[in-house]
A = this chain, B = another copy of it.
Amino acid sequence: MHHASDILLTLFIVFLAAQVGSEVAQRLKLPGGVGEIAAGCVVGPSLLGWITPEQVASGTPLDVLAEVGVVLLLFSVGLETRLEDLKKVGKVAFLVGVLGVLVPFGMGGVWAHASGFDWSRSLFIAAAFVATSAGITARVLQELGALQRIESKVILGAAVIDDILAMLLLGVVVSLQGGEGIDVVHLLAVLAGAIGFIAIIGIGGARVMRWNSSWLDKPQSPHSALAIVLALCLGLAYVSTLFGLAAIIGAFLAGMIASETRQQHTLEKQTQPLLALLTPFFFVITGSKIDLHQLGNAEAGIMLLVVTLIAIVSKLIGGFLGAWSLGGRSATLVGFGMVPRGEVGVVIASLGLAAGVFTAQIYAIIVAMSLLTAMVTPPVLAWLLRRANASVGTEAVRDDAVER
C-alpha cells in the first residue's frame, strides 16, 4: 500500500526546490528557469546529494517526468505560434539554423584538434557544440511575454532547422567514428523524411484545423478539446523521434496545429497548470546533472571556461550572421537565444562516453558546458529583451501585452 513512499519524497524535493529556486531568481530579477536549474545543482550530487545520478538516468520516472515537462513546454510555445508568422521569417530562420550549426561545429572541431584529439574524435566532440536546446530559451521568451516578437519566431524556426541538421551531423560523426564511410543516400533519405514529416504535419495539420476545428467542441465535457490535443502532442512527440528528431519538435508542431483552432485561448489557459506542475522537473533535473566535483582541478576548470566560451561565441556568431538582416540588436538577441545547449549536449556527450570516444574528463566538461550555456543565457536574454522593449517605447510593449 505504501510502496510509493521514496519516489513521492523525491518528487516533493524536486518540486519544492524548483519553487524556492524560481522565487529566489525572481527576487534577483533573473528568469525563473535559472533559479530552477541552480536549485537542481544544489539538491544534486554537487552539494546536497538528495538527487543522485541514478535517480535521473535515462528511463527513470524522474527522467520521464522531465521529458513530459519539456514536451509540454514546447507544446505551449507552439500554441502561441502561428504557422503564418513562422513562414514570414522562414529565410532568416533557415540562415540562423544553418550558420548556427556550421560555425559551432567548425570552431569546436578546430579547438578539439588543436587540443590534441585526432580528427575523427574532434568531429565527434564538435557535434556536442552544435545542437541548441530550445526549451531553455522558450521558457524565458514565454515568461517575459516575448513570444510574439519577430526574434522569437526566428529562434523557434531556427531551432527546428537546427535539430534536423544536428541529427544529420550526429549520424555522420557516428559513422566516421565507427570507421564506416558516409552513406550519402541514407543521409538524404533521413533528411527528406524529417523535412517531409515537419512539412506534412505542420502545414497540413494547420490547414485542417484552420478549415474546421468545431469538431473539437464538446459541450458535455469542457476538457475534451484539451484531451484531444494532448493526445496529439504525445503522439507527434513520439513520431518525431521515429524521424530522428527530438520529441520537442513534434510537441511544438502539435501546439502550432492547435493554435489554429477556435479553442486556442482556452487551451493556452489550460496548459498553464500543466506547465506549473511538470516543467520544474525538467529544469531541476537538468541542473542536478551538473557535478561540480568532477571539475575541481585548475586544468579542468580552465578547459571548461575555454569550451564554454567557444560554445557561446560560436553560436552567437552563427546566429548573429544569420539574422543580420534584422539589424544588429535583433541579431544579437537571436544569437543569444540559440546559445543554450542544455540536455542535448548532455545526450551527445553520453553517446561519446559510451562509444569510448570521450574521456571521463572531456565528458564532464562537455556536460558542464551544455548546462553552463543553459544557465548563462536566460539572464542575458532577459536583459536584452528589457533593453529592446525600453528602446522601442511603451507603444510596442502595450501592443504586445494586448496581443497576449
Q: Interface of A with B (CB < 8 Å)?
A: 1-5, 7-9, 11-12, 15-16, 19, 26, 58-61, 63-65, 67-68, 71, 131, 166-167, 170, 220-223, 226-228, 230-231, 234-235, 237-238, 241-242, 244-247, 270-274, 276-277, 344, 347-348
Contacts and interface: CB of A to CB of B under 8 A. Distances in A.
Contacts of A26: 220-221
Contacts of A12: 231, 234-235, 237-238
Nearest to A64: B61
12 contacts: A1-B167, A1-B170, A5-B247, A7-B67, A8-B71, A12-B238, A16-B234, A26-B221, A64-B64, A223-B273, A223-B276, A227-B276
Contacts of A228: 19
A237 B64 contact: no
Contacts of A71: 8
Contacts of A131: 1
Nearest to A20: B231
A17 to B, nearest CB: 10
A383 to B, nearest CB: 18
Contacts of A226: 273, 276
A249 B329 CA distance: 54
Given A15-B234, A234-B15, A4 B64 contact: yes
Contact of A8 (B60, B247, B273): B247
Nearest to A5: B241
Contacts of A244: 2
A3 B59 contact: yes
Contacts of A246: 1-2
A249 to B, nearest CB: 10
Given A1-B170, A241-B2, A276 B15 contact: no
